[in-house]
Amino acid sequence: MDHNLSAELRELRRTVEEFAHDVIAPKIGEYYERHEFPYEIVREMGRMGLFGLPFPEEYGGMGGDYLALGIALEELARVDSSVAITLEAGVSLGAMPIHCYGTEAQKREWLPRLCAGEVLGAFGLTEPDGGSDAGATRTTARLDESTNEWVINGTKCFITNSGTDITGLVTVTAVTGRTADGKPRISSIIVPSGTPGFTVAAPYSKVGWNASDTRELSFSDVRVPAENLLGKEGRGYAQFLRILDEGRIAISALATGLAQGCVDESVRYAKERHAFGRPIGANQAIQFKIADMEMKAHTARLAWRDAASRLVAGEPFKKEAALAKLYSSTVAVDNARDATQIHGGYGFMNEYPVARMWRDSKILEIGEGTSEVQRMLIARELGLAS
């Protein structure tokens, strides 16, 4: 599958594969059990340049693109998804909006530290009353002309990377006015961590992604300078739709990694575990299950790489990104279920990586657009608008 990658991308894949195997695999289970954010691993990922992969060198990035990011995410998620989602959210949701829509001053202020992984960024779109219907945002931002500041009020929920010791900013979407026909004008505004009135709740207790940081955020008369507006006033909705289209490719690469990790673990276990006097992998029932798992991981990889290649080439990629996200998250859940079955009772024990993969798989059908939302997007691209 590497045959059509450049030598640089092949090298990147090998480097991240080694890092995941040598550094993440031995430690991550304990972080996960303790529900602890793995600062040490994230710092190392920063040193490797992973947080800067798709950004220009002039801002401290590696000068790569979404294909490079996807390759790194896939290799990380083959071993662990908490670490992979920390990178995905840090890059696609934290830094990418600033790179795509920021002023030169905003880019100079934030991107070098975000690319180095010294600071994490977060993206606050989802609210307690709705995530899929993102246009229904209730958070408001009013421009106080006497001080030239935005005054933000509202609540965001389920926000990744928003409360770590190294979180530097959250970009929040907020209603900044109404159009003549009463529709909300949504804008994106950068809120630095520690701004008075900006409260970060304790981490959620989650089913999976337990070494990743997810919080509820509240904003009570939070004041930030008018120049913290990201992009144009009223363009926030269009901006985040584009950011989410790209992010789906990254999540799809992550889901593919989890699906492949389930194959890796199952092949190993099927050779080691004996029942009825022979390895369980000698049974055709187990072999066929693993063959199907490999087929699904391989096809998911083709799907995300196709969407990423289109994005990199400047071609339309909305439908392909939704297809890739829908397919790869479905097969990640399938493979996690089958890998757990192959591991028998041990698959239900948290010390086995497949147990972690099982717990981490379900969110892939929900985050950054549910499977239903992907189907809506695909149908719309096929001209089936409701």
Contacting residues toward ligand FAD, per CB under 6 A: 89, 93, 122-126, 130-132, 158-160, 206, 209, 214, 363, 366-370, 372-373
> To the nearest whole angstrom, how small is the minimum distance from the Cβ of residue 348 to ligand FAD?
22
Say how far apart CA 304 and CA 132 lie, in whole Å.
Answer: 22
Locate 179 and state its tokens. 């159009």
Say how far apart CA 164 and CA 81 lie, in whole Å.
Answer: 17
Nearer to ligand FAD, 219 or 269 (CB): 219
Query: Beta strand pairing status for 167-178 and 214-225?
Result: unpaired
End-to-end CA distance of the chain: 39
> To the nearest whole angstrom, how small is the minimum distance from the Cβ of residue 279 to ligand FAD?
37
> To the nearest whole angstrom, how small is the minimum distance from the Cβ of residue 255 to ligand FAD?
14
Nearer to ligand FAD, 125 or 342 (CB): 125
Beta bridge partner(s), residue 184: 178
Nearer to ligand FAD, 214 or 256 (CB): 214
Say how far apart CA 114 and CA 55 lie, in whole Å.
Answer: 10
Residues noted as catalytic: 368
> To the nearest whole angstrom, how small is the minimum distance from the Cβ of residue 114 to ligand FAD?
15
Q: What are phi and psi of 220, to 5 degrees?
A: -125, 105
Report the 10 Å Cβ neighbour count for 154: 21
Give residue 68's identity as a one-letter amino acid code: A
Give the torsion sign (CA, 178, 182, 188, 194).
Answer: positive
Nearer to ligand FAD, 93 or 286 (CB): 93
User: Which single residue brings its beta carbon nearest to ligand FAD?
Assistant: 131
> To the nearest whole angstrom, how small is the minimum distance from the Cβ of residue 377 to ligand FAD?
11
Q: In three state form, how does the secondary structure of 322-346 look?
A: HHHHHHHHHHHHHHHHHHHHHCHHH
Q: What are phi and psi of 231, to 5 degrees?
A: 75, -160
Nearer to ligand FAD, 70 or 367 (CB): 367
Rg for the chain (alpha carbons), in Å?
Answer: 21
> To the nearest whole angstrom, how small is the minimum distance from the Cβ of residue 33 to ligand FAD?
18
Nearer to ligand FAD, 254 or 373 (CB): 373
Locate 44 and state its tokens. 């190392």
Query: Beta strand pairing status for 167-178 and 120-124?
Result: parallel
Q: Are 191 and 170 in contact (CB under 8 A)?
A: yes
